[in-house]
A and B are shown apart, each in its own frame.
Chain A
């Protein structure tokens, strides 16, 4: 077990910056979930993606479960469900693979993203 945190092993903020455009492009091109991103301000959305990636990479964040519930409530009302969360986690894994991140670290990132599932889906 390395003494470095997951965030450090991934490369910190530089890694988040490298990942955010790739990840956002995947999400926008993913027919399973792209409809949820219609009519959003792309600048603001990119910043939110960055905040999400920072958290999933084990980086510094102050998100609470309540923030996650509030932030996605309007999407849950539009039918956001488990299949969409699956798609996001898949796209996240594909992004990291494209950047050459080791599977072992990808699994840790996916687990953090997974931990937000019930809050995101307001259960």
Chain B
């Protein structure tokens, strides 16, 4: 008998019963629509056990790797522990000690954390960092698991931001905070190493992209990699030296700092990062695209990239939404 575990319940799977049927028949409110493995409304995540491959058809590779599956076409042979995709309680809280805090520019703080327990993440994913039990925010990881021993975050100070203000003003090296994660499906997947990559970020949207780029390069990605990092003025850009070093080290890596304000100096592209990118590379067929940062930029650029020929499955995005309670 196959057992499905959901929250604190255990259900026996009847013969020829899908995980969706099993759960909904017993009163678990899993959303669903087409019941044929196409619409992805019933997507869930296996937090224990491996979902059958047939239940992952049509999902983005980054979701497959994280054991997401479609409940309506999931007929497992072995026990599964499952959760709804937005179930935050499915992950354990990990204590982490702050090792260093360093300003990258006037408003972005580099935070280095040492976890007290191993955390299995991919460059470009995010974690939630908690100021106290109820107040936490998502921050993208700029570190790369096999390259960096510690977790690196780029925390931009938001006007009236409660957590970012606390990190900038009060947090000190040696303090221990709680984190939960990782989450997010915006990361590099090995394979197809000759494919061109375009990465577009605004502000601290550079954090996940910096991780993704170093991850791709260290895994031997040989196709062209173009980074467009945008800000209004020069003060908003950062890590320029490190990125220039990568340009020198890897001939397939190209870094284009973009300034959307009036004062554009030599060596910088004029305009918003997404506009500059799509002007330089107009046919996006077969390119892999990464978009991180300002939600409006991510939304517009996603649409533009798709209309310019990029396949939906090749567009990875992480919009930095600002919490309503700041």
Contact = CB atoms under 8 A, between A and B. Distances in A.
A21 B38 contact: no
Contact of B36 (A29, A48, A61): A61
Interface string A1-44: 00000000000010001001100110011000000000000111
B39 A50 contact: yes
Contacts, number: 55
Contacts of A51: 33-34, 36, 38-39
Interface in A79-123: none
Contacts of B303: 28, 42
A47 interface: yes
B33 A28 contact: no
Given A42-B312, A47-B58, A60 B36 contact: yes
A20 B315 CA distance: 15
A62 B306 contact: no
A46 B307 CA distance: 13
Interface residues of B, number: 18
Contacts of B57: 13
A29 B38 contact: no
B36 to A, nearest CB: 5
Interface string B58-82: 1010000000000000000000000
B311 A21 contact: yes
A24 B36 contact: no
A54 B36 contact: yes
B302 A62 contact: no
Given A28-B307, A29-B307, A63 B312 contact: no
Contacts of A13: 57
Interface in A51-71: 51, 54, 60-63, 67, 71
Contacts of B41: 44, 47
B58 A50 contact: yes
B35 interface: yes
Given A47-B58, A50-B58, A25 B306 contact: yes
A112 B68 CA distance: 32
Interface of A: 13, 17, 20-21, 24-25, 28-29, 42-44, 46-48, 50-51, 54, 60-63, 67, 71
Given A24-B312, A47-B41, 10 more contacts: A20-B312, A24-B306, A42-B302, A42-B312, A43-B60, A48-B33, A51-B39, A54-B34, A61-B34, A63-B34
13 contacts: A13-B57, A17-B58, A21-B312, A24-B306, A24-B312, A47-B38, A47-B58, A50-B39, A60-B36, A61-B34, A61-B35, A63-B34, A71-B33
